[in-house]
């Protein structure tokens, strides 16, 4: 947040300061872009406070802060390429339900990349615009997370979470998020996701479990 604020102030020549307070709702080092979303929120808040635009230079600042920050700053469904700096907007996604689970243990991204062996999967699938749940599920089945095996070697609980999520009624797609350790499952709607999350949280009280809905609209 401080790096984002200082870089944004320097870019726009702003001498005024700002008081920043963070309420952390996501687990630290959990592979779901928590720190990146904090940086993006800082840029958006200061842009509003100082009445400065989120321009191309601000997007470059975002990319310099972390690979996930540009997508968080864009704030809508996007295809991401490069190391995260190239964004291709999607008109929207079906309003699917999602359950996220984390074992309340930190997993450093750098450690996972060091443990990763072999080449990464190339982007060879068609970048279609999924209009329905069935279309999105079919598209995602073509994708994998190349970091999963390395992350599981460092934290075996990931395999357990993936198995538990896949076994929940109504779960269509189960994957690890980012470099882990958070894993997720997608459902046809939010109601199914909330019911599954409640059951999982009851049986695994030591896990961080949340239900939600995919972002389906344009940036606000």
Beta bridge partners of 211: 99
Looking at the structure, do residues 44 and 136 belong to the same domain, yes or no? Answer: no
* Domain shared by 49 and 30, yes or no: yes
Output the CA torsion sign for 64, 125, 150, 93. positive
Specify whether 74 is located in the same domain as 101: no
Top pLDDT among 19 and 120 is at 19
179 inside domain: yes
What is the value of pTM for the model shown? Answer: 0.88
Q: Which residues contact 173 (CB under 8 A, 6 or more apart)?
A: 137, 140, 141, 185, 186
Q: Is 104 within a domain? A: yes
In angstroms, the CA 16 to CA 27 distance is: 32
Residue 218 lies in a domain: no
Mean pLDDT estimate for the chain: 91
Residue where a domain stops, chosen among 57, 72, 89: 89
Same domain, 47 and 133: no
30 is a domain residue: yes
Q: Give the span between the Cα atoms of 145 and 148, in whole angstroms.
A: 6
**Are 61 and 135 contained in the same domain?**
no
Per-residue pLDDT at 220:
44
Provide the domain limits for residue 183. Answer: 97-213
Burial of 11 (0-12, 13-18, 19+ CB in 10 A): middle
94, 189 Cβ separation under 8 angstroms = no
Domain identity same for 207 and 113: yes
Which of 131 and 25 is assigned the larger pLDDT?
Answer: 25
Same domain, 206 and 101: yes
- How many residues appear in the chain? 220
Measured between alpha carbons, how far is residue 144 from residues 121, 123, 175 in Å? 8, 11, 8
The domain tally of the chain equals 2
> Hey, what's the torsion of the CAs at 30, 4, 66, 112, to 10 degrees?
-40
Regarding whether 155 and 51 lie in a shared domain, the answer is no
| Residue 211 reports pLDDT greater than 60 | yes
Q: Do residues 43 and 135 share a domain?
A: no
| Structure confidence by residue, pLDDT tens digits, 47-102 | 999 999 999 999 999 999 999 999 999 988 888 887 888 888 887 788 899 999 99
Residue 23 and residue 21: Cα distance in Å, rounded?
7
Domain annotation covers residue 220: no
What CATH number does the domain containing 42 carry? 3.30.230.10
The confidence score (pLDDT) of residue 90 equals: 81
pLDDT digits (tens, 9 = 90+) for 33-42: 999 999 999 9
Q: Could you read off the pLDDT of 175-210 as tens digits, one per residue?
A: 999 999 999 999 999 999 999 999 999 999 999 999
Q: Which one of 39, 67, 89 terminates a domain?
A: 89
Q: How confident is the model at residue 217 (pLDDT cuts 50, 70, 90)?
A: low
Percent of residues in the chain assigned helix, strand, coil, to nearest 5: 40, 15, 45
Q: Is the pLDDT of residue 125 over 60?
A: no
């Amino acid at each position: 947040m401080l790096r984002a604020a200082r870089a944004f102030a320097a870019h726009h020549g702003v001498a005024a300061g700002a008081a920043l307070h963070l309420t952390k709702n996501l687990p630290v080092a959990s592979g779901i872009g928590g720190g990146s979303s904090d940086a993006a929120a800082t840029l958006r808040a200061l842009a509003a406070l100082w009445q400065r635009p989120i321009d191309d230079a601000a997007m470059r600042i975002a990319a310099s802060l972390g690979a996930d920050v540009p997508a968080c700053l864009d704030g809508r469904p996007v295809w991401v390429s490069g190391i995260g700096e190239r964004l291709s907007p999607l008109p929207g996604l079906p309003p699917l339900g999602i359950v996220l689970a984390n074992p309340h243990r930190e997993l450093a991204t750098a450690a996972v990349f060091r443990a990763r062996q072999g080449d990464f999967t190339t982007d060879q699938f068609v970048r279609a615009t999924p209009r329905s749940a069935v279309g999105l599920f079919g598209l995602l089945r073509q994708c994998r997370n190349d970091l999963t095996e390395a992350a599981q070697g460092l934290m075996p609980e990931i395999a357990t979470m993936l198995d538990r999520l896949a076994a929940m009624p109504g779960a269509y797609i189960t994957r690890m998020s980012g470099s882990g350790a958070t894993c997720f499952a997608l459902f046809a709607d939010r109601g199914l996701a909330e019911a599954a999350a409640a059951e999982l949280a009851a049986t695994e009280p030591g896990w961080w479990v949340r239900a939600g809905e995919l972002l389906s609209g344009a940036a606000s």
